Structure 1
Amino acid sequence: MRYWETIDIDAPVALIWRLTTDIEDWPDFLPTVRRLDRLDTGELRVGSAARLEQPGQSSAVWTVTHLEPDREFTWETHRPGLRLTGRHLLEPVGAGTRMTLVLETAGWAAGLASVLFGGMMRGSLRRESEGFARRATAGV
């Protein structure tokens, strides 16, 4: 299953990219992140990992699988019978940025996860995109 949320943010791609990849700051402004602990140091790169605690979920380790500066940051985690892939896609729109957040589920439990948690996943993507927009336009 694939869920996504797109929002246009009145801020340059460079700022949105910084907010997206400075993942240690996410608990400060994203209502979808309770705690995030980097498991490595330095700039975010393919192979970087973090333990993420989100409301209503057990903690999970997410590992970066693709990173294209100023365009895309993709990471994934695994749960029994389920692979979750999260993508943060950015594209310039005039002087601003179009951000698309994508969550894909795969594995034998993906259908059940969709039935049980599809609404929660859609709502989380919406709240997360709104959190990025608020932070970006707050003069950070």
Structure 2
Amino acid sequence: MRIPTLTKLATATAGAVLLATGTAHALNNDEPTPATTIAPGTAAHTDDVQIDAGAPAITRDNILIHAPLQTIWKIQTDVENWPTWQPNVETVVKDTPGRLRPGSVFRWSTEGLNITSTVKQVDYGRRLAWGGPAQGITAVHVWTFTPTSGGVLVHTEESWTGDECSVAPTYWGTLPELMEVITHARQEKIKVLVEHFPLQRADEAYQLLHDGRIQGRAVITPHA
């Protein structure tokens, strides 16, 4: 599974909260840290749901939002309204009515993935966790909310596992160069050009790359 898409999902979800709450300041956190890492200042709970520390794909991000915790929590947990402020989320359907609680199920689509998420933890105003399958990938997504003197620090981390999920450097270039590209894309310093290919056209995609006939990046998407 491609790192840019995984990172973009988490970053977009965290960053988009500011559209309805006011100002925010993004704090990148891409350095590898233990899966038990939680937002600074948040007390650890032994029964907290954690991401999979051994997953081949893990992403972490922080954002400082200048808005009341209650407002941020309400927007983040109102999953049916995600498409109104997250342009990459096409649809959300709640199978379990009412407020999110452990065992709640919702289905949503984003970035070509159809995801069924089951809520695993709800600690009001402090921590959210959900996870589930998405076309051969099993994800665990954790959110923590920490009030600070400058606002609320929202920390998100997610792990992806499964036969369809693997991480590798680009066909040309090193992994540090790839991460540099991701950083520039986040800062909107470059426009990301991506051409998608279904798995059965993988050989064709590599040949087009080799021949210099693809502008930007080629992404192989299983089950596309």
Cα distance in 2, alignment partners of residues 16 and 54 from structure 1: 21
The residue aligned with 2:62 is 6
Letter in 2 for 1:90: F
Partner of 1:135: none
Query: Which 5+ residue runs of structure 1 have no aligned equivalent?
Result: 127-140
4+ long deviations beyond 4 Å: none
Is 1:15 matched with 2:103? no
RMSD of Structure 2 on Structure 1 (CA): 2.4
Where 2:100 maps in the other structure, the secondary structure is coil
Instruction: Confirm or deny: 8 A CA contact 1:9 1:98 kept in the other structure.
Output: yes
Task: Note if contact 2:95-2:107 (Cα within 8 Å) is conserved in structure 1.
Answer: yes
Matched, 1:99 2:150: no
Instruction: Say whether the 8 Å CA contact 1:47–1:65 is kept in structure 2.
Output: yes
Deviation at 1:106, TM superposition (A): 2.6
1:41 to 63, 86, 97: 97
Residue 168 of structure 2 is aligned to residue 115 of structure 1? yes
Partner of 1:137: none
TM-score by length of 1: 0.73
The corresponding residue for 1:90 is 145
Looking at structure 1, the residues matched to 131 and 150 of structure 2 have their Cα atoms a distance apart, in angstroms, of: 30
What letter corresponds to residue 93 of structure 1 in structure 2? T
TM-score using structure 2 length? 0.47
Q: Distance in 1 between matches of 2:114 and 2:136?
A: 16
Structure ID, larger Rg: 2
Aligned residues: 118
**Identity fraction in percent:** 24
- Matched to 1:69, the amino acid is Y
Supply the AA of the counterpart residue of 2:85.
Answer: F
1:7 deviates by 0.6
- Taking the aligned partners of 2:92 and 2:168, their CA distance within structure 1 comes to 27
Structure 1 residues 81, 54: CA separation in 2 closer, same or farther (over 3 Å shift)? closer
Q: Report if aligned partners of 1:77, 1:84 keep a CA contact under 8 Å in 2.
A: yes
